[in-house]
């Protein structure tokens, strides 16, 4: 699973609990996109989460 290159956000793990309280594994995936970003005057493709894109933490190419 991809991680955000800016904040390091990735997948989280936990338990899915049923009504009878039986537990099974669950994975929450973060909303990570592959985007082209300006880095030092050149364009580079990296994985960035949508919250970093929305906040303006990266300059898209």
pLDDT in tens, 3-60: 999 999 999 999 999 999 999 999 999 999 999 999 888 999 999 999 999 999 888 8
In a domain, 46, yes or no: yes
Domain count across the chain? 1
In a domain, 7, yes or no: no
Q: Would the pLDDT of 1 be above 80?
A: no
In a domain, 49, yes or no: yes
pLDDT for res 59: 86
Question: Would you say 36 and 48 are in contact if contact means Cβ atoms under 8 Å apart?
Answer: no
Range of the domain at 47: 12-55
In a domain, 61, yes or no: no
């Amino acid at each position: 699973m991809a991680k955000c290159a800016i904040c390091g956000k990735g997948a989280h793990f936990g338990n899915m609990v049923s009504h009878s309280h039986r537990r099974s594994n669950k994975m929450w995936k973060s909303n990570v996109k592959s985007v082209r970003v300006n880095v030092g005057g050149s364009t580079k493709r990296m994985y960035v989460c949508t919250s970093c894109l929305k906040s303006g933490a990266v300059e898209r190419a």
